[in-house]
A = this chain, B = another copy of it.
Amino acid sequence: MMASRRFPFGKRSVADAARERKVGIKDVSREAGVAISTVSHVLNGTAPISPDVRGRVLDAARRLGYLAKRQAKASIGALDTILLAVPSDTVIETQVNLFSFTLLSALTRECERRGIRILPLTADGKSFSAAQLVQEARNGQAEGIVVLSEDRSELLSGIAASGIPAVLINGEDHGMQIDSVTPGNRFAARLATDWLIKQGHRSILHLTWEGRSTIRRRRDGFLDAFAANGLPTENAQIQFAEGYLPQHGEAAIARWLKEHGGLGGVTAIFCAADNLALGALTALHSAGLSVPGDVSIMGFDGVTIGELTDPPLTTVSVPLDQLGPAALHLLEQRILNPHLERAAHRLELGCRLSIRDSVAQAR
């Protein structure tokens, strides 16, 4: 999955040709009903053109995908090799950590499509230092660094200090030194909680764990929803699991049930990860409680197993396939303009609710 090879260019050109259908400026001119030179003038701003003609040309160019093709062509070759640093726990437990797995698959697929070579760097057990990472990047002649799911500020500022363009995926750099891409955790958690409230739930338990800051954002959003709906924060309860694995979620819910001799008035549980929701389902079933009959469950991540649970999980779908490509785009922009004064970009991608069967109206 993360082999350090460039795809045979044959495959690439076939794929590209299929996607691009060889549209040229003359196709655009025909479609717009003007001369070839007119199209050129419009596209380059080299002559004053009437708004009417200009509009027709741009419309045609957009419709035929010519603009998109030109743009795509222009960024070929900007990125050659990236160093991809992945913390050990996201790799080892791939069966369980579907979040990272899905994200990495989409990232490597995009690299293959674009002929970008990946130098993988995984820390076995212990975590890597900035010096190690920068050294590896230099050795491998990588012109960009992609780091997954990290927060350590010494690491991030070490990378920033090297001057090598870098992006952090699924992590935050509160020092605002390097670019990053994350899910829109806070707003998405608010959206999920809003939905539960809209279904009539008033006392909701948030099942989470002491994770990295991206996980804390989900808690922020959970509380935001209560404030925005004018509900008392006493009704927004929080239960911590020991970690993010299903068994942790199961244990945490079992504990809650025991301590409260039942659900304790809670009619919905909003889990900070689908994994935890899986565990919660198990614990609730064991206790003879039905979902969503006795209690509703909302997940977070939108990872595939959510469709297969019983009942299918209502969850927040994170655009996992878009995080990697967005990170590459940021990297590219930075590499293309090395001289430019460019503030660190922190990008959050919007998430959507996947409404399935684990949430019902509150009675």
- Could you list which residues of chain A lie within 8 angstroms of chain B, going by C-beta atoms? 6, 8-9, 12-13, 42-48, 51, 54-55, 58, 61-62, 67-68, 70-71, 73-78, 80, 115, 141, 143, 172, 174-177, 184, 187-188, 190-191, 220, 224, 319, 322, 326, 335-338, 341-352
Which of chain B's residues have a CB closer than 8 A to the CB of A143? 58
How many angstroms from the CA of A343 to the CA of B183 in the assembled complex?
A: 10
User: Do A322 and B342 touch across chains, with their CB atoms under 8 A apart?
Assistant: yes
Which of chain B's residues have a CB closer than 8 A to the CB of A61? 77
User: Do A346 and B184 touch across chains, with their CB atoms under 8 A apart?
Assistant: yes
The distance from the CB of A182 to the nearest CB of chain B, in whole angstroms, is: 10
How many angstroms from the CA of A12 to the CA of B48 in the assembled complex?
A: 12
Q: Identify which of B8, B190, B326, B344 contacts A174 (C-beta below 8 A).
A: B190
Which of chain B's residues have a CB closer than 8 A to the CB of A346? 184, 187, 347-350
How many angstroms from the CA of A175 to the CA of B347 in the assembled complex?
A: 16
User: Do A9 and B176 touch across chains, with their CB atoms under 8 A apart?
Assistant: no
Which of chain B's residues have a CB closer than 8 A to the CB of A175? 187, 191
Which of chain B's residues have a CB closer than 8 A to the CB of A51? 141
Q: A141-B51, A338-B62 are in contact. Are A184 and B188 (CB under 8 A)?
A: no
Q: A9-B47, A73-B74, A77-B42 are in contact. Are A343 and B338 (CB under 8 A)?
A: no
Residue of B nearest to A74 (CB): B74
The distance from the CB of A188 to the nearest CB of chain B, in whole angstroms, is: 7
The distance from the CB of A144 to the nearest CB of chain B, in whole angstroms, is: 12
The distance from the CB of A89 to the nearest CB of chain B, in whole angstroms, is: 24
The distance from the CB of A214 to the nearest CB of chain B, in whole angstroms, is: 13
Q: Identify which of B58, B141, B342, B348 contacts A77 (C-beta below 8 A).
A: B58
User: Do A344 and B337 touch across chains, with their CB atoms under 8 A apart?
Assistant: no
Q: A43-B77, A58-B77 are in contact. Are A336 and B71 (CB under 8 A)?
A: yes
User: Do A351 and B71 touch across chains, with their CB atoms under 8 A apart?
Assistant: no
User: Do A55 and B141 touch across chains, with their CB atoms under 8 A apart?
Assistant: yes
User: Do A177 and B13 touch across chains, with their CB atoms under 8 A apart?
Assistant: no
The distance from the CB of A249 to the nearest CB of chain B, in whole angstroms, is: 26
